[in-house]
Each structure stands twice: as structure tokens, then as C-alpha cells.
């Protein structure tokens, strides 16, 4: 067996299951799960309809590149969303559809890491989406963690990275808006990172799967291609973004997203993907074309999250320091006791499940930056979110 498999860590939800084992939850309350980042708003009807109208496509092998219409609808979306001239996006060479970003974030590292070079590093935020770590380990690279803490506004501090680390870095994952923190990496920081990538010759993989869920309708989070383009890197050199319909369109089961950016990198990644064999079925492609063309359902989706965040923060605001994130559907809540004890007791006493922050992070540079935080996913319906906030408030009050 591949010995690198032994380095993989248990997934956070396996650890959560273990943590809750043997605990009997308060029977007077129904269970509310705020632990899993699975969107729960209705999938738009037109997505179901387009899938069903295109079921006959199952009779054909789909191609890895997908239909030209899919790449075109993605290019239109990128141009509009990131203020890039349509003519500057090559649908043939700069866009690839993927079966959701999870598989793509993983397989990307397998394709780009050169593990024949001494001690390759993959830099990633900490806490993180655990796929980044597994991808690095299985590609034969070592993860290097950038702690995102309250002191640095829950954002990676690229200035804190030593030169010898950049020299070994082949790939960096950034996640903006962040899971679990909801923090957005500013254009100036992205600019700095692109300059570093040029200097030290590494690739930036920008996980932007929460980019369409943001609080201020006038302030959509800036994307990596947008920053690259604005600074004159119009070929998106060393930049690749990962975008998904899972959160944007409440369609996690559709398994649809795309990667876009540097044509030279994507040419090799395309070659890798043809071997891996992960083309999108034709009904998925048809529904994806429709989804990337429609913004109305996405705005409606944001409105629903706004309503939930306002209600949740209003209820909890006077018992703890809670901040509405700029984007994403998570609250990254500081806990007055250890995060694991908080999660255990909240489950036992109020029948609510949240995810301990330390399960999403590693000990690095002397601390575990996820500890004393829990991740709360506001995916449940509004009434359930309000009810959860009331119970969490009651629970926090018992801690004084
Ligand atoms: C940060 C982050 N990236 C990527 C994904 C993968 O999403 P999908 O594979 O559905 O596109 C998730 C899913 O929860 C996530 O939280």
C-alpha cells in the first residue's frame, strides 16, 4: 500500500462522532445539527428540471473538457463576476469542469507536485478544509501551516513566511472566503501572494467555493483571477481558482464546479484528468450551464443567509463576542471553555451539534489555532437557527 496513506488524519466528522460517543443528549429538545457544511436551502427547480430533460445524455461517454457551451457559460460568469474582458478568457485552454471542487482540490496536488525535488512543501491555512492536507501528503509533499488567528483577523499572514519556506513551496492553497472563519483575503494581500509566486515559482490554488455567499450585496469578495488581471497578469500565470455550484446554487449532489486560470498548468492538469477519468455526466453539464447563467437564485440564497445571520447574531450578541462573517455560511465562535468540552456539553444539555475548531486544525508554530473555537454552520432553516441561538445563549449563560 502507499505508505503516505498512513499519514492521513481522521476526518473531523469521525472525530466528532467519537467525541459524542456515549453522551445522551437532552431528550426534551429535538436535535439541531450545525456541524456539517451542507447547504440546505432548496435547490432551484430549474436545476432539477434541466437534469431530467437531459437524462438521455447518460447514453454517451462525456468528455473531460465538457461541452463547449459549458466552458462558455463559465467564461461569461467569470468575466462578469471578476471584471475580466471576455476576449481575455480562452474557453479551450483556461477552463476545466470538475466534479465538485473536493476532488479537484485533491487531484490538483497530485498533478502539480514534483516530489523528485528535495522536500516539497504545500502551504495551507490552519484551520483548513482537510482535503488540502491529504492532497499534499498523498502527493509526497509536506504540509506547511499558516495559522489564521484572531490577531491576524483570521487571515493567513504571508509576511510571516520565511524565505527558505517559500523556496521549498511548490503549491499554496488559499481559501477565501475561508472555511471555517468566513474571512476574505483582500486584494492587496492576493497581489502580494501573486508577486511571491512569481519570485519563488510556485502555484496558487484558490479555493473560492464560498465566494457567492457574502453579507454585503455591494461587496462581493475579490477573486484571485480578478486580482491577477487587475495587476496586469492577464494570462493568470501561476493562478488557478476552484469554483463550485454546491454552495452557490444549493446543489451539492450535482457535483459540479470548475477550475480556471493559467493555461500551461491546466494543460497538464487536463492530461492528468483524462487518466483519472472524472468527466461530468451530460445531465450535470446541462444543469450547470443553466446554473452559471442565472444570478437570481444566488441573490435569493444570499438573502436567506443574511436573515439567518442577523437573527442568530442578534440573539447571541449580548452573551458572547460573536461577529458576522464577511462571507460563507459559518460562524467561527470563540468559546469560553475548551472547544471540545463546549461541543460535548452543548450536545448533552441542549441537543445541538457543533464542530470543535481543533478538529479542523493542527498544532503549528506552538499553538492549535482552532482550539477554543467552534464552527457553526447556519444551514438549517431560519426557525431552527433561531431556536439554536436561544439554546446556545442559555447554555453560555450556565457557564458563568
Ligand atoms: C472550503 C471548501 N472547499 C471545497 C469544498 C468542496 O465542495 P464541493 O466539492 O461540493 O465543490 C468544501 C465543501 O464543504 C469546502 O468547505
Q: Is the CB of 207 under 6 A from ligand 1?
A: yes
Q: Is the CB of 244 under 6 A from ligand 1?
A: yes
Distances (CA, A) of 249 to 11, 91, 305, 308: 25, 22, 13, 17
Q: Could you report the per-residue pLDDT of 67-111, keeping only the tens digit for each?
A: 999 999 999 999 999 999 999 999 999 999 999 999 999 999 999
Ligand 1 centre to CA of 189 (Å) is 23
Q: Is the CB of 257 under 6 A from ligand 1?
A: yes
Rounded to an integer, what distance in angstroms lies between the CA atom of residue 80 and that of residue 316?
37
Say if residues 260 and 241 touch (Cβ distance below 8 Å).
yes
Identify which of 209, 259, 379 to mutate to test ligand 1's pocket (most ligand atoms within 8 A of the CB): 209
* pLDDT score at 59: 95
* pLDDT score at 321: 87
Closest CA to 70 of 295, 289, 251: 289
Closest CA to 180 of 333, 11, 19, 7: 333
Say if residues 38 and 379 touch (Cβ distance below 8 Å).
yes
- Ligand 1, atom 5, lies closest to the CA of 102
Identify which of 40, 129, 148, 355 to mutate to test ligand 1's pocket (most ligand atoms within 8 A of the CB): 129
* pLDDT score at 211: 98
Closest CA to 96 of 240, 284, 208, 249: 240
Ligand 1 centre to CA of 251 (Å) is 12
Cα 314 to its chain centre, rounded Å, is 26
Ligand 1 centre to CA of 13 (Å) is 15
Identify which of 102, 130, 175, 379 to mutate to test ligand 1's pocket (most ligand atoms within 8 A of the CB): 102
Ligand 1 atom nearest to 244, measured from its CA: 11
Q: Is the CB of 179 under 6 A from ligand 1?
A: yes
* pLDDT score at 278: 87
* pLDDT score at 141: 97
Grid cell listed for 275: 487518466
Grid cell listed for 19: 467525541
Closest CA to 127 of 368, 376, 379: 368
Ligand 1 atom nearest to 38, measured from its CA: 14
CA angle 198, 158, 154 (to 5 degrees): 140
DSSP category for residue 258: E
* pLDDT score at 354: 98
Instruction: Return all residues near 29 (Cβ < 8 A) that are at least 6 apart.
Output: 350, 351, 352, 391
Identify which of 245, 247, 250 to mutate to test ligand 1's pocket (most ligand atoms within 8 A of the CB): 247
Ligand 1 centre to CA of 164 (Å) is 31
pLDDT tens for the chain, 400 residues: list them: 999 999 999 999 999 999 999 999 988 999 999 999 999 999 999 999 999 999 999 999 999 999 999 999 999 999 999 999 999 999 999 999 999 999 999 999 999 999 999 899 999 999 999 999 999 999 999 999 999 999 999 999 999 999 999 999 999 999 999 999 999 999 999 999 999 999 999 999 999 999 999 999 999 999 999 999 999 999 999 999 999 999 999 999 999 999 999 999 999 999 999 999 889 999 999 999 999 999 999 999 999 999 999 999 999 998 998 989 999 999 999 999 999 999 999 999 999 999 999 999 999 999 999 999 999 999 999 999 999 999 999 999 999 7
* pLDDT score at 277: 87
The pTM (predicted TM-score) of the whole model is 0.97
Amino acid at each position: 500500500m502507499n505508505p503516505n496513506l498512513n499519514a492521513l488524519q481522521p476526518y473531523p466528522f469521525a472525530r466528532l462522532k467519537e467525541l459524542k460517543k456515549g453522551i445522551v443528549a437532552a431528550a426534551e429538545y429535538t436535535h439541531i445539527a450545525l456541524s456539517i457544511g451542507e447547504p440546505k436551502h432548496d435547490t432551484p427547480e430549474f436545476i432539477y428540471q434541466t437534469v431530467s430533460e437531459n437524462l438521455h445524455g447518460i447514453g454517451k461517454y462525456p468528455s473531460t473538457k465538457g461541452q463547449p457551451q459549458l466552458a462558455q457559460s463559465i467564461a461569461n460568469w467569470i468575466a462578469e463576476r471578476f471584471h475580466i474582458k471576455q476576449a481575455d478568457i480562452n474557453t479551450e485552454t483556461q477552463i476545466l469542469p470538475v466534479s465538485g471542487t473536493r476532488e479537484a482540490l485533491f487531484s490538483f496536488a497530485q498533478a502539480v507536485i514534483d516530489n523528485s525535488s528535495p522536500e516539497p512543501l504545500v502551504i495551507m491555512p490552519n484551520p483548513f478544509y482537510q482535503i488540502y492536507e491529504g492532497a499534499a501528503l498523498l502527493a509526497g509533499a509536506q504540509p506547511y501551516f499558516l495559522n489564521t488567528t484572531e490577531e491576524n483577523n483570521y487571515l493567513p499572514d504571508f509576511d510571516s513566511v520565511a524565505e527558505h519556506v517559500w523556496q521549498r513551496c511548490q503549491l499554496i492553497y488559499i481559501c477565501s472566503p475561508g472555511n471555517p472563519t468566513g474571512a476574505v483575503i483582500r486584494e492587496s494581500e492576493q497581489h502580494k501572494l501573486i508577486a511571491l509566486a512569481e519570485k519563488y515559482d510556485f502555484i496558487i490554488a484558490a479555493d473560492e467555493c464560498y465566494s457567492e455567499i457574502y453579507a454585503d450585496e455591494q461587496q462581493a469578495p475579490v477573486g484571485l483571477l480578478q486580482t491577477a488581471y487587475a495587476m496586469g497578469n492577464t494570462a493568470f500565470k501561476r493562478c488557478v481558482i476552484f469554483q463550485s455550484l454546491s454552495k452557490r446554487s444549493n446543489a451539492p449532489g450535482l457535483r459540479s464546479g470548475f477550475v480556471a486560470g493559467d493555461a500551461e498548468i491546466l494543460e497538464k492538469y487536463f492530461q492528468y484528468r483524462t487518466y483519472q477519468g472524472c468527466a461530468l455526466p451530460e445531465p450535470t453539464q446541462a444543469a450547470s450551464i443553466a446554473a452559471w447563467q442565472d444570478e437570481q437564485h444566488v441573490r435569493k440564497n444570499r438573502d436567506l443567509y443574511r436573515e439567518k445571520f442577523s437573527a442568530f447574531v442578534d440573539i447571541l450578541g449580548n452573551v458572547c463576542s460573536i461577529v458576522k462573517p464577511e462571507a460563507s455560511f459559518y460562524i467561527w465562535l470563540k468559546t469560553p471553555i475548551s472547544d471540545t468540552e463546549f461541543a460535548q456539553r452543548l450536545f448533552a444539555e441542549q441537543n445541538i451539534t457543533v464542530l470543535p475548531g481543533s478538529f479542523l486544525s493542527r498544532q503549528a508554530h506552538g499553538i492549535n489555532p482552532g482550539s477554543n473555537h467552534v464552527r457553526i454552520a447556519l444551514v438549517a432553516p431560519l426557525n431552527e437557527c433561531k431556536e439554536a441561538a436561544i439554546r446556545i445563549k442559555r447554555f453560555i449563560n450556565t457557564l458563568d
